[in-house]
Amino acid sequence: VQLQASGGGLVQAGGSLRLSCTVIGSIFTIYDMAWYQQAPGKQRELVATITHDSTPKYPNSVWGRFTISRDNAKNTVYLQMDSLKPEDTATYYCNAVSRQYKTWGDNYWGQGTLVTVSS
């Protein structure tokens, strides 16, 4: 199973970016998907999750600014990031966790995509 993330880049504060992550080599609909951010020198932190049946959840830090969605026909999860702040600068990683009976809990990571927000 491979996760291919893309969409990072440089944006000014207040701007928007959309990240994408495509799952290759497995059935996409068995996975809960998530996005994490990791700033330099800091631990990786959860910024959004979406269950295999499309229920989203967010921590307070991004509530109202970030939106996670999935397109099961394209095997892809998205993270729409609006009203970006300099403190959102980080490498963003997508994550897939299997919710299928036989592979429950199997966990996969994408390669990371860098988001830089300038002030």
Query: Over the stretch 57-82, which tens digit does the pLDDT of each residue have?
Result: 999 999 999 999 999 999 999 999 99
Q: Whose structure tokens read 């495509």?
A: 22
Query: Over the stretch 24-59, which tens digit does the pLDDT of each residue have?
Result: 999 999 999 999 999 999 999 999 999 999 999 999
Cβ atoms 78, 19 nearer than 8 A = yes
Cα–Cα distance for residue pair 69/67, rounded to 1 Å: 7
